[in-house]
């Protein structure tokens, strides 16, 4: 449990630091002229909600022609990310980090953005990476998920959601005692109540009329809710179906072009239930609802 869910003296889950990189300067003109083999590489894992954020920005901004996706696979037995097929002789994410000159102390995590031309890592922290991808050069006019007039509102949402919701589900699941769980669970559902009320009065998106990075931050957690976080992490006080505005928001986001392609419920169940031994000692991967039934059904009245 200590390796998967480290905790402080009071039993509260404490997320390990991810050794974020300081990205080097990138020349936009150079990126647009790259050949296919020299395009920057975004390495993600289907099950990782932090990597999911970057994948969503990649899809929503239609960056397929300038950033290549590489899917890492969770190796449950080895406790690491594998690369199949291998990239530049690297068959694990750790090998890729070393190939790009990352210090030995760095944890090999997803997402990570790689520059094949210079063999350097351009970033491995989802928050600055989604900002970078939102500013990524594009030949055509594309969606801006962080317009200047919304910067303050987006930042407020991101600060609240990161602690109470994105990390909050893990603080529930990996709590070491009842008091720690109660604290995390209360904060989590208070945040969901706040999101529900905001969508009711200011929607359809978290920052009003326009989709933003605040919505991108929330979606990966809520789309995994019924499949993982409610049954495995104990986030089950109130079904998401009972948050009518939040439910409709999730349906609306899921229906955006390219978003459904980033969602794989079978992979999520396989990796969460199969790899988190302390929470599921038997390793049994339960059957779960199909995502299509969740995003197409109607919400109950609040």
- Range 148-296 has CATH code 1.10.490.10: no
Cα–Cα distance for residue pair 239/15, rounded to 1 Å? 26
Whether pTM > 0.95 for this model: the answer is: no
Q: 154 pLDDT exceeds 70?
A: yes
> Topology of domain 28-134, per CATH?
Glutaredoxin (3.40.30)
- CA distances 268 to 128, 275, 276, Å, are 24, 10, 12
Listed in order, the ranges of the chain carrying CATH 1.20.1050.10 are 148-296
Q: 201 pLDDT exceeds 70?
A: yes
- Mean pLDDT over each residue of the chain, to the nearest integer: 92
Q: What is the pLDDT of residue 18?
A: 66
Tens of pLDDT, residue by residue over 97-153, are 999 999 888 889 999 999 999 999 999 999 999 999 999 988 777 899 999 999 999
Mean local confidence (pLDDT), 67-71: 96
Q: 265 pLDDT exceeds 70?
A: yes
Listed in order, the ranges of the chain carrying CATH 3.40.30.10 are 28-134
């Amino acid at each position: 449990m200590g390796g998967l869910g480290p905790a402080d003296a009071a039993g509260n889950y404490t997320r390990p630091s991810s050794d974020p990189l300081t990205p080097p300067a990138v020349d936009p003109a150079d990126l647009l002229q790259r050949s296919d083999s020299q395009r920057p590489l975004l390495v993600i894992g289907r099950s990782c909600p932090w990597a999911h954020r970057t994948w969503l920005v990649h899809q929503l901004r239609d960056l397929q022609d300038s950033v290549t996706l590489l899917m890492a696979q969770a190796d449950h037995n080895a406790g690491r990310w594998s690369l199949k097929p291998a990239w530049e002789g690297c068959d694990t994410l750790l090998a890729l980090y070393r190939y790009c000159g990352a210090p030995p102390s760095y944890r090999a995590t997803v997402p990570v953005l790689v520059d094949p031309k210079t063999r350097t890592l351009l970033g491995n922290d989802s928050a600055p990476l989604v900002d970078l991808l939102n500013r990524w050069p594009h030949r055509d006019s594309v969606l801006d998920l962080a317009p200047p007039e919304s910067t303050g509102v987006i930042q407020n949402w991101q600060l609240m959601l990161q602690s109470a919701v994105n990390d909050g589900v893990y603080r529930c699941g990996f709590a070491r005692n009842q008091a720690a769980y109660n604290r995390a669970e209360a904060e989590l559902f208070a945040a969901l109540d706040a999101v529900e009320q905001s969508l009711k009065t200011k929607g359809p998106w978290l920052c009003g009329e326009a989709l933003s990075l605040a919505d991108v931050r929330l979606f990966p957690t809520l789309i995994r809710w019924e499949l993982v976080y409610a049954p495995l992490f104990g986030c089950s006080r109130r079904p998401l179906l009972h948050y009518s505005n939040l439910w409709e928001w999730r349906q609306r986001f899921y229906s955006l072009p390219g978003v459904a392609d980033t969602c794989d419920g079978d992979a999520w169940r396989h990796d969460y239930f199969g790899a988190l031994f302390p929470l599921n000692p038997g390793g049994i991967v339960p059957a779960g609802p199909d995502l299509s039934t969740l995003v197409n059904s109607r919400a109950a009245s609040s």
